[in-house]
Structure 1
């Protein structure tokens, strides 16, 4: 463990890293699958009052500000009026291959289906089906995962161009190839990957599927030089 890791461990404790927080939750009784990652774990809050009510599947990505709740104390208002303590507890189940956007709140009695994207800032309660994109308060499906996939494919060049032009205008320099570590399918073949691009291909454990796609991909540009000269042609 290097000095930085040791300091984070001292300051942040169980939330020093994704691995530390997940290990802590498992010891408490929550189920967390393999390949799951907590981004900015210090900003994520998982309810530990009833940890065995939490089930997070494989390859789930939780981002900064996500909160998962299995209980609340709203019964305090009822107690003040009527007298009895009325408990509140509900299970949260997140199935495999789910992305949860920043500052999302997931309430008890929620089941998020597999292959699903939850948009940032959502408040989720109840059943979210498999294979969809869901957003809002209350969170509701807005499109299928296949529709979203097609949309993202169609927007790759536009967004990569915007990234390149903004970098050039801000710095006055040609952007390095590695800046496009999420857009390299536009100009790279399967036999042309450096370590940075290869690492991206290895994410979520389906490297061979990504490689197959890249091998069959009809890339827009023959190489990075053609890509960058094209997108910057009107910006110099």
Structure 2
């Protein structure tokens, strides 16, 4: 694979998408949503943040909002009451996300929920009750299944074996592994002393902006 082609197709495209997602975040801020620095929207085209009452949404620093994220501050279930009893009772409550949170794809966060600092919410989860800091939660409804620290320790032991498995899969396919195949596996070969040698924005990890 030509490294210049790879960078042009993947890295530059990511920067373009990142710029658009940053503009989306700025739009939400102008509407009154509180969003901390370092927060990332993975795909602004596939996300729903209920800013009908923007003061009810508060998102901390370094939060990753993956594709399919939905943050809801109200529901419209009272629509049924209008038909049956000519009554409408609004339902809305604040949503607060702390700092350093990862939301997997297609996570829905319902009104009245808070998620503490250092949390990981698994793919497809629906968060109907608050999640304490330092938790890994998953499911419908989302429940705490472990701690943030335990999960980090688990990943620190498994990532090398997974990189080797991937390298063997590439070899089995009939070609030699390339450095760019492992841009996500950088702990195997990139550190603070050599990250500038690679054509990938590793400065996000080794020289992050100071907020």
Distance 1:95 1:82 in 2: 40
> Aligned equivalents of 2:85 and 2:119: distance in 1?
41
Question: CA RMSD of the aligned region, Å?
Answer: 2.4
Once the two structures are TM-superposed, the CA of residue 59 in structure 1 deviates from its matched residue by: 0.4
Shift of 1:88: 1.0
Output the CA distance in 1 between the equivalents of 2:82 and 2:207.
Answer: 49
Who is 1:20 aligned against? 23
2:181 maps to what in 1?
179
Relative contact order (alpha carbons < 8 A, sep ≥ 6): 1 or 2 greater? 2
Match of 1:123 among 108, 122, 126: 126
* Unmatched tracts of structure 2, length 5 or more: 1-11
Q: TM-score, normalised by structure 2?
A: 0.84
Q: Which runs of 5+ in 1 are unaligned?
A: 10-14, 207-236
Match of 2:79 among 76, 81, 88: 76
| Alignment correspondent of 1:54 | 57
Superposed counterparts of 1:157-168, under 5 Å: 157-168=160-171
Name the TM-score, length of structure 1 as normaliser: 0.75
Show the 5 A alignment for 1:86-125: 86-125=89-128
1:16 deviates by 7.6
The secondary structure found in structure 2 opposite 1:49 is coil
Q: Residue 203 of structure 2 is aligned with which of 189, 192, 199?
A: 199
Q: Secondary structure at the match of 1:182?
A: helix
Aligned residues: 195
* Residues 36-55 of structure 1 aligned to structure 2 (within 5 Å): 36-55=39-58
Q: Which has the larger radius of gyration?
A: 1
Asked whether the 8 Å contact 2:191–2:206 carries over to 1, the reply is no
